[in-house]
Structure 1
Amino acid sequence: MSKQDSAARAAAISFRQLRLFAAIGDLKSVRRASEECSLSQPAVTQALAKLEEQIGSVLVDRRASGSYLNELGDLFHARIRRFFEQAEQAIMEAGAADTKVAARAIMNRFTRSQIRTVVGAIEHGSFDRASESVGISSASLQRAARDLESNLGVPLFYRTAAGVLVSPLGSQFGRHMKLALQEIEWGIEELEAAQGGATRQMVIGAMPFGGSVLLASVLDDFLRLHPRADIRIMNESAAEMAKCLRAGDVDFVIGLLPELESGEVVREPLARTPYSVVARRGHPLTRLGKVSIEDLRAYDWVTGTDGSSRRACFERIFADGPAPQTSLATCALPVIRHLLKRSDRLTLMTSYELEHEDSLRAVLYDPITPVPSLGITMRASWLPTRMHQDFIDLIRAHVSAPRPHLRDVG
């Protein structure tokens, strides 16, 4: 099942259906769920039957003693509980409610079209572009936006000469709701996988250099385990990758861990991999017994892009004096390899990266600190699917295999 298929199926399910299903799972009774939601028992039963038809799975076993979630129902219920918890947290962080009870009451008034409005606006930049994408008129989206603001009691949009735009608070709220909605999609995909169906698309962020090398080392093993997996690998700068991760556009990121802490992401260091100054085979510096800082200043360098850990390391090395010539800044390994092989330029590489470069050598310079870590960066609230977990376990096993150039974390 493609990402588009799961998203379309998830979008067809109303929040009301999900609230009723969550109540059945919480209360372990259709009758009690109907009382909790102030609906008749036949209405709840009908809504449940429609939900099961939409997702193609039986979620509840009907017995003489009552109706109970089966194994698939428990699987889906866990995702739907996470959806509501994250949505209610987004409402509280927007300043619309002080308690979970109040946030739940607001969430119960939301409709799909209202949430689609703010998510579409932040993804496409304006109501006009969002309306083109979802096939709804801009006027209809703006009506839904007004209804959303009315239900929330907090302004999310503002009008300019260029049209209606999303405020910073609206962007934050929309991003959090987008992440919450992904739980529904993942719930559907987990049901498919549990029944031997198609496997969902997995989007992995690969940090420049180490991330791509590490991914390439485990992809074959993973595809043998999940032969129908649909993997998309995203390569971006460190700053752009952080944005993609927080927005839910990538599931997790592999490579050098960011130096800056963030409450929205968690970092799992797997191994420390020290930086070395690197040059081509036969470079004049590779013939020296010991290289000084002045030796390094005498050559042109290829540095990392702004915001990357490689660029920060370069700046620390030369912090106490003039920096060498840096005509080129890139995170593209093929470009760096080409430039170094055909010149006397220098760059920085981690020991893990250098292991895979036969034409490059480390020069004998002092140990460079701090030593970066290779690992996995994930959203703090993320719950991986079985497929995600299998991939992460393979990464852990690969990095933990004995290698003299990697140092254990701990």
Structure 2
Amino acid sequence: MSPDQLNIRHLMALPLVVRSGSISVAARAVNLTQPAITQGIAKLERQIGMALFDRVPGTLVATPAAHLLAERANNALRLLGNRRATAAQIRAFVALAQYGSYAAAAGATGLAEASLHRAVADLSLALGTRLVDRRGRGVMLTRRGDEIARNFRLALAELRSGLAEIAALQGREVGHIAVGAMPLSRARLLPNAIATFLRDHAQVDFSVAEGSHAELLGPLRDGDIDMMIGALRDEPPGPDLVQTALFTDQPLILARPGHPLAQEAGRPNPADLAAFPWVMAAEGTPLRGLWRHMFALADVELPKVPVECGSVITIRQLLGQTDFLTMLSPDQVAVELEAGWLVQLGVAPGVVNRIIGLTTRADWRPTPLQLKFMATLEEEAGKMRPVPKD
């Protein structure tokens, strides 16, 4: 089931009943009648397919499923902030934020445009703030609307994790793991980890979003992806994110077969490398920083970079027709080297390496399945180049 089908007021009541063992205590706290709370708990039990409480004289004893769902509900309610929002309003606003217009959101969700308009308008009134501005046929979220949409997505991600944990209690190892993959991780680490993991957890679904560090930060912060894999920054991009090292990558200098420098033995000379044009990753990326550092160590003026590009296929085709050089991870070009499309001139001169790892939200609490996948990533990374110990 989808987490946006859960009733918000029922979720508000659940942790109170778990703590107190009393329907009446929860009813007073959330301003619902005792029958309404009783019916709400019964509905939650039908939705998850498990009992939330054992009924004993004078009290209700929370089951493991209740404890799991109550903790996730508390986190989700904290993210929602204002508890006057309904599940229908949250569903409508998240869809509008994702698709950018009422028409597109209606087409994607199957809801009527009029229903979406009404739900978003009611939500705006309930929260006491303007959420969207008209922009032609579409809408643009206000600054406050953008913050609320992000929190709603994170709240839904919390509830989705809770439902996955309850499924595990039922012996159903189901779940969804969303990974943001930067270029380096796509060649070997991530495919190997997913293949290994699925051999033991065949019912788990994966989605892989490809992009640069900058492109994936938003989806990570929004909860659309669970983790991001690739080159780590010297400092985390913010206090809300945590970086975990997996392995050390030492890039190679690459060229076409028959390149004038291809016959030279040993580590390439920076002065010789500077005599040729380069195709490199964009400014601000760790690889471009390492490239600059390589020439700075040798006190050699930077060569020209007529082309900025992160696509291995594009770089391969460009190098094959020119005397351009590039610097990439050996994992990114393993196929090209084996096929003879590119040749390595050697490892980058100087102490030039980067740390590849995971970036996650600081307040993220992974499910057991997500933890197992992260352990699988660490095992696969251990087969590569370990991170040096201090």
Residues 86 and 180 of structure 1 are in contact (CA less than 8 Å); yes or no, is this contact kept in structure 2? yes
Q: Which residue of 2 aligns with 1:378?
A: 360
RMSD (Å) for aligned C-alpha atoms:
2.9
Tell me, what secondary structure is at the counterpart of 2:216?
A: helix
| Residues paired across the two proteins, number | 382
1:268 corresponding residue in structure 2: 244
1:387 partner amino acid = L
Structure 2: gaps of 5 or more residues: none
Asked if the contact 1:269/1:409 (under 8 Å) is kept, the reply is: no
Match of 1:298 among 275, 285, 298: 275
- Cα 1:79–1:298 shift into 2, 3 Å: same
- In 1, the alpha carbon distance for the partners of 2:42 and 2:274 equals 72
Alignment of 1:247-396 (within 5 A): 247-259=222-234, 261-279=237-255, 283-286=259-262, 287-289=264-266, 291-305=268-282, 307-317=284-294, 323-337=302-316, 339-340=318-319, 344-350=323-329, 357-358=337-338, 359=340, 360-363=343-346, 365-369=348-352, 371-396=353-378
Tell me by how many angstroms 1:262 deviates.
Answer: 1.8
**Contact kept? 1:120, 1:130, Cα under 8 Å:** yes
Asked if structure 2 preserves the Cα contact closer than 8 Å seen for 1:29 and 1:68, the reply is no
Would you say 1:25 and 2:18 are equivalent positions? yes
Residues 290 and 271 of structure 1: CA distance in aligned 2, closer, same or farther (over 3 Å): closer
Q: 1:217 to 1:34 in 2, by over 3 A?
A: same
CA contact (8 A) 1:121 1:166 kept: no
Write the distance in 2 (CA, Å) between the matches of 1:306 and 1:229. 37
Q: Aligned partners of 2:17 and 2:54: how far apart in 1?
A: 12
Query: Which residue pairs with 2:50 in the alignment?
Result: 57
Can you list the C-alpha shifts for 1:152-198, whole angstroms capped at 9, x where unaligned? 22222223444543112211210121111121122112211221225
Q: What does 1:173-192 align with in structure 2 at a 5 Å threshold?
A: 173-192=148-167
Write the distance in 2 (CA, Å) between the matches of 1:322 and 1:138: 60
Q: 1:246 to 1:306 in 2, by over 3 A?
A: farther
TM-score (norm 2): 0.86
Q: CA deviation at 1:128?
A: 3.0
Alignment partners' CA distance in 1, 2:85 and 2:109: 19
Q: Does 1:85 align with 2:78?
A: yes
For 1:326-357, what per-residue CA distance to the aligned partner results, in whole angstroms no more than 9, with x for missing partners?
45443333444555567643221246657785
For residues 4-40 of structure 1, give each alpha carbon's deviation from its aligned partner in whole angstroms, at most 9, with x where no partner exists. xx32xx2222111111212212323323222323333
The Cα shift of 1:321 comes to 7.1
Which stretch shifts more, 188-197 or 309-318? 309-318
1:195 to 161, 170, 184: 170
User: Does the 8 Å contact 1:239/1:307 carry over to 2?
Assistant: no
SS at match of 2:328: strand
SS of match in other structure, 1:209:
helix
Give the counterpart letter for 2:117 in structure 1.
Q
Between the aligned partners of 1:131 and 1:323, the Cα distance in structure 2 is: 53
Shift of 1:390: 0.4
Taking structure 1 as the reference length, what is the TM-score of the superposition? 0.82
**Is the Cα contact below 8 Å between 1:214 and 1:254 reproduced in 2?**
no
CA distance in 2, matches of 1:333, 1:361: 14
